[in-house]
Amino acid sequence: MSAEKVHRTSHEVEIAAPAGVVYGIIADTGKWPLYFPPNIHVERLEGTGPDGAQGGGGTERLRMWATANGTVKTWTSRRELDPGRRRIEFRQEIPAAPLTGMGGTWIVEETGELATRLTLLHDFTVADDRAEDVEWVQRATDTNSTSELGRLKALAERWRELDDLVLSFEDSVHVEGPAERVYDFLYRVGDWPERVPHVDRLDLVEETPGVQVMSMDTRTADGSVHTTESVRVCFPEAGRIVYKQTATPALMAAHTGEWSLRPEGTGVKVTSQHSVVLRPENIERILGPEADVAAARRYVREALGRNSGATLALAKEFAQNATATR
């Protein structure tokens, strides 16, 4: 058997922000789905050091879901975090086809008090070094790396206001009914145009069980219709469905969320969680000349909460009606 050729790529960006801010964003993979366009979801499987969000080093294993050339891929990676040197090395343990190996390094270099050079290195191999597979991986790596570095630069350079641009919230409802029935309502999103009044249209593709790619038209309180595209990853045994909008309304740069179920008394607590990054350059155009970031936060909280609250109420009715008719 011939040895597989190792292919290497390098991507670099200059960022007008402190090196510690840049490193912190990269280290905190829990926020990657919110911060990095290709990333859909991250599960931290284990870690020997503190979570990256706390600035610690150590080793961690992650399972990731992300888009690559328009398809959703999943893999497991191990990361070595070195906050002192501001380097993070990663290696995929279970690569997604057509890869047989993938790894690399994030290198954060301080070039000034408010200046950082960020370099992202990759190395990869594919089975039999097939030219079409090499080209596919090269294209995906270039596209995703460029997208990630561009978004990271934009976020880091707003580091003083980033906390105001990011908001997370949740709404919950108690259901006196079987968790399986609630989960079925949330999972069968293809039925929502008939079940959920604010959903006008929904196109769904589920080529891999539990990974749903969807396009949806949602009607807001003022009668306008917003088209969004999302990827959902479903965990039926855990009673969770996580999702990321891959095409968002103009006021949001990113939107991720989760539906979760947990036992509560004789029933189940159902929670809808949202995390959003606002797009400040669009606030005045969307909300008017007097609007500011605080107004945008209130608007998004109300709009998303209204729709998810309505969906929670319908899921509750669906489950409790099933219980009542038994």
Q: What is the pLDDT along the chain (326 residues), one digit of tens a residue?
A: 356 899 999 999 999 999 999 999 999 999 999 999 999 999 999 986 555 444 467 999 999 999 999 999 999 999 999 999 999 999 999 899 899 999 999 999 999 999 999 999 999 999 999 999 999 999 999 999 999 999 999 999 999 999 999 999 999 999 999 999 999 999 999 999 999 999 999 999 999 999 999 999 988 777 788 899 999 999 999 999 999 999 998 999 999 999 999 999 999 999 999 999 999 999 999 999 999 999 999 999 999 999 999 999 999 999 998 655 44
Joined together, the tokens standing for residue 236 give: 């039926």
Contact in structure between 217 and 199 (CB atoms under 8 Å):
yes
Pair type for strands 199-208 and 7-15: unpaired
Helices and strands, counts by H and E, the chain: 8, 14
* DSSP codes joined into one string, 148-195: HHHHHHHHHTTTTTHHHHEEEEEEEEEESS-HHHHHHHHH-GGGHHHH
pLDDT at 322 (0 to 100): 65
Which residue's structure tokens are 């929904």?
202
> Could you give the C-alpha distances from 142 to 9, 65, 87, 254, in angstroms and in order?
8, 17, 20, 21
pLDDT at 47 (0 to 100): 84
pLDDT at 55 (0 to 100): 45
The C-alpha atoms of residue 322 and residue 74 are separated, in whole angstroms, by 36
Q: In what order do the strands lie in the sheet with 39-47?
A: 7-15, 115-126, 99-112, 87-94, 71-82, 58-68, 39-47
pLDDT at 49 (0 to 100): 55
- Provide the whole-model pTM: 0.92
